[in-house]
Structure 1
Amino acid sequence: MADFKGRKTPGQQAAGPGGFWRIVLIILAAWLAMNLLTGGRNEPLIDYTMFLNQVERGNVESVTLEGREVTGVFKEPVQIGDAPANGAKPAKNERFTTHVPDFGDDDLLSTLREQGVSVKTLPARDRGWFWYLVISFLPLLLIGGLIYMQYRRMQGGGGGGMFNIGKSKARRAEPEKQKTTFDDVAGAKGPKKELEEIINFLKDPSAVRKLGGEVPRGMLLVGPPGTGKTLLARAVAGEAGVPFYHISGSDFMEMFVGVGASRVRDLFKEAKKNAPSIVFIDELDSIGRRRGAGLGGGHDEREQTLNQLLSELDGFEPNEDVIVMSATNRPDILDPALLRPGRFDRRVSVPMPSVDEREEILDIYVRNKPLADDVDLRRLASSTPGFSGADLENILNEAALLAARAEREEIANKDIENARDKVMMGLQRHGLTMTEEEKRIVAFHEAGHAMTAALLPRADPLHKVSVIPRAQSMGVTQQFPERDRYIYRKEYMLDRLAVMMGGRASEMLVFGTATSGAGNDLQQAFKLARRMVLSWGMSEKFAHMAMGGPEGQVFLGEEIASRREYSDQTATEVDLEVKSLLDEAYQRARECIEDHREELDKIVEELLDQEEIPGKRVLDILGVEKQPPKEAERQDA
């Protein structure tokens, strides 16, 4: 394959100069050991009884007695051992060796003399010195081998060996090997503009200093996972053409005390030697968490490593021409000393890509993928709101796997659709067996969602309805916005609540009872209604109040439980407001379904027959064309 062109396979590597001589030494050592143990003889060994029988038959020409070892020559070759299993002709031997029993054989010499055998005697060889050396030095060799293996293992771990454990584990990328540039980073126009200042400074530091300015020493890339923070850092190094040291925050930590601080010192010492240079620390939050936030003391290894990092960034000694870049998706837990001016004093936000940026990202990822004519990347970008660049790459990779499984030479649109559903909702549950009643409940539930989404004016456009069971659901109604939204009107939120309630309303209308299938819908609707009341002031009683407080994970040592900044009476009124919003949403959804009861049955029939129908087909059944009012469209804009 092209990706492995020029690489050596394990067999090729073993056949290199070092591997060749290693094999030769092993063969020589085995040959010497064999000669020491056998005395250099290769005569086949026979039983003593067989030897006596051949002597009595007169088939032995001569023998050599060497202690209790007897070697000799047959007059006629004799078969020694069993015949080959493959039926081949058995091999015969002229020479042999055997051993006289320890208790001796007083009649052996007389028998040999009677048969006319030529006898030669030699003194017995003393092999005791060899076994003495083996017993004496073998334990030492084993211990030495274990020590050497442990030493090589620690060297292979990237720490430079047991005696260099305090050395930095950062990997240096040379400027000529940095092929990633801003052309390889789709979208992210804002972050790239911010990072261009760093590139200009690294190329010509005097242009900034002659104006009395200083370039930020630390750049913190902040954004959700998969948005390309590490890719941006590599692109900066490729554009600037300077040495680039990259390391993960966890690489500083070790089981030995003081190793992390030592590695920080060694990293910056190396970077200063090759200044101007870039140091990139990925996952900064693994060592940069707020000090004193836990229940333990402040002398653990992580905090000592953080203290050393703070000193290197802006301590007593100047740190010129070394720019530190870091990436994290949890800036809220970083120590304030890291974020002050002089250290990581510039924060570059890397948000989720917009629809145009998603299309640019897809254009990059499909460069080496053959696409069918029905693939529309713009439509795919529009139908993946909230997806990061890594998510989009995953979708295209899954689509390529599906196309290969179907033995197609091009990636078709249905492959991309199936891949997107697989990424968003999980694998299909092929082994699931449902009764006819359960299938009808699921179909009416999803049809209720689809009808409310198609009929309400400000709901997101309906993409498709499916009753195919997947890992996370028994069915799904997909809606995708026509454009990215950043501000949401109250009317849009109310329609969204009604769509969430559409499944429960359809169940109650048709079957007259509630089912567990609406559990996730009710949870999501409750969370949305509560945020409307507490955080956005979208209620009658709390129209201009935001009481939601900070949202997110509560960390031990800062807050054991989230604080509530309103009274119990207000909490009761909040619950009533939330219930009022949910009741209103349910009633709107039920009215939509009651007014189109016959159309609901038609949608369910097609779902049970085809398992999946597009949103356009639902609109055709309802006889409506989803077109938001121009007034609302103008106000939303």
Structure 2
Amino acid sequence: MTFSILYPDKSGLEAILRAKIGSAIAEDVDIAPIADRLFGLSGADVKAVARDALGRARVDAVRVTQRHLEIAADQVAPQLDDDTFRRAAVHEAGHVVVTLQLELPLPKRVSPSSQGDQVEHVPVNSLTPTTTQMRLQVLLAGRAAEICTFGDASFGAGSGEQSDLTKATSLALAIERHWGFGESGLLWDGIATADARPAPADVRERVESHLQDAQQRALEAVCPNKEFRIRLAERLIQVREIDGQEIEAIEKRAGAMAH
């Protein structure tokens, strides 16, 4: 089973920015909030932000200032308002809740951001019908957490090629068309799983059934565990990034999880 690997953590982002800008940075610049903004970006993207800031500073004939970095960061990672950031934190907390409920290994790192998909899971190497269904539940757990907390899911839970919903749909298609795990039988049809449109109507119905079932199971896992979900989200809002050890500590403070 393949889980997404996160890009540099906060300390890594700060190191990239400092290394790229070097001595051209003004003494009063605070790199930390810029690094917070850039969660979810690759090292190459962060270097591009640094180059942008350097270019703006050269035009102004000064060292790189806080404002230069903020403008450069805005080009690739617009700052989230408080409500949107809270929703992102709740979303990521949902992934953690279901991971724990399914007794999967604790995530290595969790961090909410405008880039999405910010839970770094320990890789699971074997795909079986059971682990595939677990993966579907974990993918749809962020969406479930938004529904439990706010009454609905945002478009961020299902937009773009890297969204949870896109990945879950591709996984459900593979269940039916590639891996022989579904009701479609053992036939491998060779059609890419990234697009559901070529699938016959009966396959689309089975894919939708997989998704609905996984979301319902995720809701049943996430909704009863409000205290842990909210504690985890609040901590993410406060520090922006937590690891598996801190997740364990928050779980203990919240008490036994409902199953």
TM-score by length of 2: 0.64
The whole-number CA distance in structure 1 between the counterparts of 2:238 and 2:13 is: 27
Work out whether 1:465 is the aligned partner of 2:74: no
The whole-number CA distance in structure 2 between the counterparts of 1:423 and 1:452 is: 27
1:499 aligns with 138
- Does the CA contact (< 8 Å) of 1:454 and 1:462 recur in 2? no
1:518 aligns with 157
In terms of fraction of residues, the more helix-rich structure is 2
Q: Give the 3 Å change call, closer, same or farther, for CA 406–549 of structure 1 in structure 2.
A: closer
Name the count of aligned residue pairs: 200
1:587 aligns with 216
Q: 1:531 Cα deviation (Å)? A: 0.8
Q: 1:522 Cα deviation (Å)? A: 0.8
1:577 aligns with 206
TM-score by length of 1: 0.28
Which aligned pairs between 1:298-309 and structure 2 lie closer than 5 A?
none
Instruction: Output the amino acid matched with 2:121.
Output: Q
Q: Give the 3 Å change call, closer, same or farther, for CA 401–426 of structure 1 in structure 2.
A: closer
1:538 aligns with 181
Q: 1:508 Cα deviation (Å)? A: 0.9
The whole-number CA distance in structure 1 between the counterparts of 2:141 and 2:246 is: 18
Aligned partner of 1:614 among 236, 239, 243: 243
Q: 1:426 Cα deviation (Å)? A: 4.4
Aligned partner of 2:231 among 574, 588, 602: 602
The whole-number CA distance in structure 2 between the counterparts of 1:424 and 1:489 is: 34
* 1:345-367 alpha-carbon deviations (Å, 9 max, x no partner): xxxxxxxxxxxxxxxxxxxxxxx
Aligned partner of 2:102 among 452, 456, 466: 456
1:436 aligns with 82
Work out whether 1:480 is the aligned partner of 2:122: yes
Instruction: Output the amino acid matched with 2:142.
Output: G
The whole-number CA distance in structure 2 between the counterparts of 1:398 and 1:606 is: 20
- Does the CA contact (< 8 Å) of 1:444 and 1:604 recur in 2? yes
* 1:98-144 alpha-carbon deviations (Å, 9 max, x no partner): xxxxxxxxxxxxxxxxxxxxxxxxxxxxxxxxxxxxxxxxxxxxxxx
Which aligned pairs between 1:147-186 and structure 2 lie closer than 5 A?
none
Q: Give the 3 Å change call, closer, same or farther, for CA 528–475 of structure 1 in structure 2.
A: closer
Q: Give the 3 Å change call, closer, same or farther, for CA 516–545 of structure 1 in structure 2.
A: same
The whole-number CA distance in structure 2 between the counterparts of 1:603 and 1:529 is: 29
Aligned partner of 2:91 among 445, 451, 470: 445
1:41 aligns with none
The whole-number CA distance in structure 2 between the counterparts of 1:529 and 1:450 is: 21
The whole-number CA distance in structure 2 between the counterparts of 1:551 and 1:384 is: 19
Q: Give me the identity figure in percent.
A: 26
Aligned partner of 1:423 among 33, 39, 42: 42
Q: 1:548 Cα deviation (Å)? A: 2.7
Instruction: Output the amino acid matched with 1:527.
Output: S
* 1:540-598 alpha-carbon deviations (Å, 9 max, x no partner): x22x322432549xxxxxxxxxxx7xxx9xx2221121111111111121111123111
Q: Secondary structure at the match of 1:620?
A: helix
Root mean square deviation, CA, Å: 3.8
- Does the CA contact (< 8 Å) of 1:442 and 1:475 recur in 2? no
2:190 aligns with 549
- Does the CA contact (< 8 Å) of 1:531 and 1:548 recur in 2? no
Instruction: Output the amino acid matched with 1:586.
Output: Q
Instruction: Output the amino acid matched with 1:433.
Output: Q
* 1:68-112 alpha-carbon deviations (Å, 9 max, x no partner): xxxxxxxxxxxxxxxxxxxxxxxxxxxxxxxxxxxxxxxxxxxxx
- Does the CA contact (< 8 Å) of 1:456 and 1:495 recur in 2? yes
Q: Give the 3 Å change call, closer, same or farther, for CA 426–546 of structure 1 in structure 2.
A: farther
2:57 aligns with none
Q: Secondary structure at the match of 2:42?
A: helix
The whole-number CA distance in structure 2 between the counterparts of 1:477 and 1:538 is: 26
1:150 aligns with none
The whole-number CA distance in structure 1 between the counterparts of 2:90 and 2:101 is: 16
Q: Give the 3 Å change call, closer, same or farther, for CA 425–577 of structure 1 in structure 2.
A: farther
Instruction: Output the amino acid matched with 1:598.
Output: E
The whole-number CA distance in structure 2 between the counterparts of 1:591 and 1:384 is: 24
Q: Secondary structure at the match of 1:595?
A: coil
Runs of 4+ in 1 over 4 A off after TM superposition: 397-403, 418-422
Q: 1:509 Cα deviation (Å)? A: 0.9
Which aligned pairs between 1:61-72 and structure 2 lie closer than 5 A?
none
The whole-number CA distance in structure 2 between the counterparts of 1:590 and 1:425 is: 37
Q: 1:619 Cα deviation (Å)? A: 2.6
The whole-number CA distance in structure 1 between the counterparts of 2:44 and 2:87 is: 20
The whole-number CA distance in structure 2 between the counterparts of 1:551 and 1:617 is: 39
Unaligned ranges ≥5, structure 1: 1-382, 386-390, 392-396, 408-417, 553-563, 625-637
The whole-number CA distance in structure 2 between the counterparts of 1:573 and 1:495 is: 23
Which aligned pairs between 1:226-245 and structure 2 lie closer than 5 A?
none
Q: 1:460 Cα deviation (Å)? A: 5.2
